[in-house]
Amino acid sequence: MTEQTASATRSPEDEPRPSENKPRPRRRLTAEARKSSILAAARRAFTETGDMNGTTIKVIAEHSGISEGVIYRHFESKDQLFFEAVVEPLKQAVDDLVAATSAVDLDQPLTPERRMRATAVLYRQLISTLEEILPLLGLVLFGDPQVARRFYQESFMVAMDRLAEAWREVEDRYGYPFESSDISARAVMGAALIMALESRHGKGYDRRRALTLLSEGTIKGFFPHMDPERLRQ
């Protein structure tokens, strides 16, 4: 069979399509999408190394699969990258957390049962959120001292003060006494932080039991009143 005959007998379906011969061009990311992918890669790199100073731009570039030059086109320095990748999301998470937990329904009677239930909800929200952000929280609070101080003063301290303010509003409405609401807010946040660490790293953590005991201890006191006559001499 001649080449001309073969060509004549070939059906249109046998002809190679242009798209089958040429590789499809890779879609170019927009500048915003590229920046978001760099931030996500940086967050993974900082979390894996656990050290801001030890995480180089080269390491972040390897995590994101791009060159260091591309990163510098979007971020001026590693400090800026750390702040936007780690500190800003952490600040937002803390802010959202306190906004949710400080919203007290002041139109409903504050019965003992409702107070206990609201305390359990508060702890559940605190523990869940703190457990989620623990890696970032550790990076910030136990990393660069200046970054830690700034974050604590501008975000974490403000969050606890907002919790205390919410409790003062409850006290004003119902006359329900809160002993040193500013210290109480810090004690609650501290207890929730330890339970978040227990949940992530401890053994045999029982969330339901922890929520019950924390709530009861917060409302009724952690140490029972002892009759002096029953105390051992």
Give 10-residue mean pLDDT values along the chain (233 residues): 51 54 60 87 86 85 87 90 89 79 61 81 86 88 88 88 80 65 87 92 89 88 71 56
Query: Taking phi first (over 0 means left), then psi (-120 to 50 degrees means alpha), and beta for anything else, what does residue 221 get?
Result: left
Q: Are residues 126 and 49 in the same domain?
A: no
Q: Considering the domain boundaries, does residue 228 fall inside one?
A: no
**Domain that includes residue 203, residue range:** 85-220
Q: What is the pLDDT of residue 193?
A: 92
Q: What is the pLDDT of residue 17?
A: 57
Q: What is the pLDDT of residue 176?
A: 59
Q: What is the pLDDT of residue 195?
A: 93
- Our count of domains for the chain comes to 2
Neighbours of 1 (CB within 10 A): 8
Q: What is the pLDDT of residue 26?
A: 52
Report residue 214 as tokens: 């924390």
Query: Counting Cβ atoms within 10 Å, is residue 134 exposed (0-12), middle (13-18) or buried (19+)?
Result: middle
Q: What is the pLDDT of residue 233?
A: 53
Q: What is the pLDDT of residue 196?
A: 92
Q: Considering the domain boundaries, does residue 3 fall inside one?
A: no
Q: How far apart are CA 146 and CA 63, in angstroms?
A: 27
Q: Considering the domain boundaries, does residue 182 fall inside one?
A: yes
